[in-house]
A and B are shown apart, each in its own frame.
Chain A
Amino acid sequence: MEKQETLATRLQTGERKAAVEFVDKYYERIYLYMRRLGHSREVSEDLTQECFLQAWRHIGQLRSGRALKSWLYHIAGNISKLYWRRHGERGDVSLADVDIEASGEDGSSLIEHNEQLVRLRDAVGRLPLKLKQTVILHYMQHLTIGESSDALGIRKGTFKSRLNRALKALRKEVK
């Protein structure tokens, strides 16, 4: 797997092949991020495309190669916010519309477990946007604390504080 720094450097020199690799590496993650932020399938596709368009336009502003992933997530977050602003806050769908894939196992404990997952999914969906983003970036998109805070353009401390508040709220709802 190519290091982010190398890919960023190649992108900055304008290498087209690097741009193709960049799309292959990140388009699914950005699409899922959009879905988890509550956009419909169709809108998530449009916003994913828009995210990469913005990335091409602003590639010259990318400063540190290590920040490539969080830089792309930062763009994605802004595009999502802009969409909500134009179309009404969460006027689309919520995380609750993202299906939970069925597990192949059976049994009452599994049913209970799945119910817990559904409750958790709904609870994440109900979180205020700022808190929801922290949970999605860190636990669902698997970004580190540093990457997540960069993606949101906030300090690590602020991110941790928001994440703690989010987890506290989730703990209350999912017992």
Chain B
Amino acid sequence: MEQDKLENLLNELSDRTREPVRPGLAGDIKGEIPRDLSRHRGGLDTIRIMIDLRVNRLAAAAVIIATMVVGITFWPDGVSNSDSLYQDGKLLVKYLLKGEMATGKNMLAGLPKTSDFFQDGREVVYYGEGVEKGDKDALMMHWKISEDSYRVIYGDFRTEVVTASELIRLQAKMLQRKAK
């Protein structure tokens, strides 16, 4: 049989063996769509953003470690997130091996296991290179917990929950420091 004829027959076979799909299958699949499709990507994206912004390596490592700590806290079985956590871990090791591994471990001990971190896609605001490690007055990062309630982490990795107006005051202080 010639090649063309065989190809035509195969194409026809494709049409003729098409069978109807059970109504409701699409609905069943849609019912399994996770509430938050991108939640497991938080760590990886954070690493990318940090690298893109060329921010302080130590502070970036703190955010990455915190992401992983929270990831493990949330998903101890690691069923659905094991791959992405593993990938994040590999990137983290690569990143930290450029230096400061020991300090990275200290950070891990100092960071709180905050259960609201990255939950529901909350955005972490990072304040950049201006923050010196151990600076207890410097605002290193914050994220929103609820209306008028924000979690902040200082340069010495101390953490507290503040109101919006308190956060604005802290931010103003940071701006004044940068202006000096």
Contacts and interface: CB of A to CB of B under 8 A. Distances in A.
Contacts of B87: 61
A32 B13 contact: no
Contacts, number: 118
Interface string B1-37: 1010011011111111111011001101110111011
A3 interface: no
Interface residues of B, number: 37
B40 interface: yes
What's the interface size class on A, roughly?
Answer: 35 or more
Interface string B67-89: 00000000000001001100100
B110 interface: no
Interface string A114-141: 0011001100100000000001000111
Central interface residue in A60, A101, A174, by most chain B CB within 10 Å = A60
B26 A23 contact: yes
15 contacts: A11-B37, A14-B36, A14-B37, A14-B121, A27-B25, A32-B19, A49-B25, A56-B33, A57-B40, A58-B83, A60-B40, A117-B12, A117-B16, A142-B14, A170-B6
Interface of A: 11-16, 19-20, 23-24, 27-28, 31-32, 35-36, 41, 45, 48-49, 52-53, 56-61, 95, 98-101, 103, 116-117, 120-121, 124, 135, 139-142, 167, 170-171, 174-175
List 9 A-B pairs, minimum CB-CB distance, nearest first.
Answer: A14-B38, A139-B10, A140-B14, A14-B37, A60-B41, A98-B17, A19-B33, A101-B16, A100-B16
